[in-house]
Homo-oligomer: A and B are copies of this chain.
């Protein structure tokens, strides 16, 4: 760490996303003057390595944020609600990866490739969108710009790491149990605090987060509402079905969309996406090239493929979108927000 740069705090540093944040800060050579790692009292005393230096994890408290310039929160909505204001009060800008503030009209909800300008008006807290939303809008925004957008229907295939490192450990244990002919135990998915838990090993669970009165889950409503907010597109017709599958890292999305323009073709959509920031086109039928979570794991890009015209509906198309939910879906996007704040002097 140098004298130049910023005092950065990572809240939830030992979690699945927090660890990726620390890794990405190093990998991207983020201008870190000092790195403070915070977590719940349970993780206090653990050590993480940043640029070859061991850093001891401290318990997150209001006073932990004294002197902090940028606080990256990813320790659950309850901790964000308790501590984000405390961090702002002490002069930090908070980039929050929970759903606590996302729909707050005073809080920008930002994917830099889509609505970087919204960062300008922040009041101390910036929200990082839900993982499944981020990769969707990165793919949809260039299509909207080029051809207009009327309608989106998405079905997700979400990886277990989206539910945290413990959920991944549980999937591994369940998988071993099933392979050994034993009954898998489930205590985390679909929602830790819910009454019932189901194994994810060799299964698919069509519930992510809790049910809302309208029959959609909160995860599905996050995708719907956050997409509209990020794209400044409240009238967009968008529906989501969110499903957990036994992948470790990398969310996949089967996306149907209708564009306004009658001139859109598969080739033009491909060409628009190929030149779009954050997108990597993987779409070659003859070569069997399409995105897959196993191969997107550990990568920064939003991978798009299987682009094809609907056979019945004019201006209707289908595509398949995959991205690492811990990176572009979480840690990377948070750090890209911080980088944008610095680059644009909006900190």
Contacts and interface: CB of A to CB of B under 8 A. Distances in A.
Interface string A167-189: 00000100110010000000000
A325 to B, nearest CB: 13
A203 B285 contact: no
Contact of A203 (B292, B306, B309, B316): B292
Contacts of A295: 198, 203
Interface string A230-251: 0000000111010101111000
Interface in A222-266: 224, 237-239, 241, 243, 245-248, 252, 254, 256, 266
A6 interface: no
B306 A241 contact: yes
Q: Please classify how large the interface on chain A is, using the bins under 10, 10 to 19, 20 to 34, 35 or more.
A: 35 or more
A185 to B, nearest CB: 13
A202 B306 contact: no
A254 B243 CA distance: 9
Interface in A58-110: none
A214 interface: yes
A308 interface: yes
Contacts of A214: 308-309, 311
Q: Which of A216, A239, A310 has the most CB of B within 10 A?
A: A239
A202 B294 contact: yes
Nearest to A158: B204
A230 to B, nearest CB: 18
Interface string A269-290: 0000000000000000111101
Nearest to A240: B318
B292 A204 contact: yes
Interface in A117-147: none
A215 B309 contact: yes
A160 to B, nearest CB: 9
Interface in A188-225: 190, 194-196, 198-199, 201-207, 211, 214-216, 224
Nearest to A200: B294
A202 B224 CA distance: 27
Given A157-B157, A215-B308, A237-B313, A206 B248 contact: no
Nearest to A256: B153
Considering the complex of A and B, which 4 residue pairs feature the smallest CB-CB distances, nearest first?
A215-B308, A203-B294, A155-B254, A155-B155
14 contacts: A155-B155, A155-B254, A172-B179, A176-B179, A201-B294, A202-B294, A203-B247, A203-B295, A205-B292, A206-B252, A216-B308, A237-B312, A245-B245, A245-B247
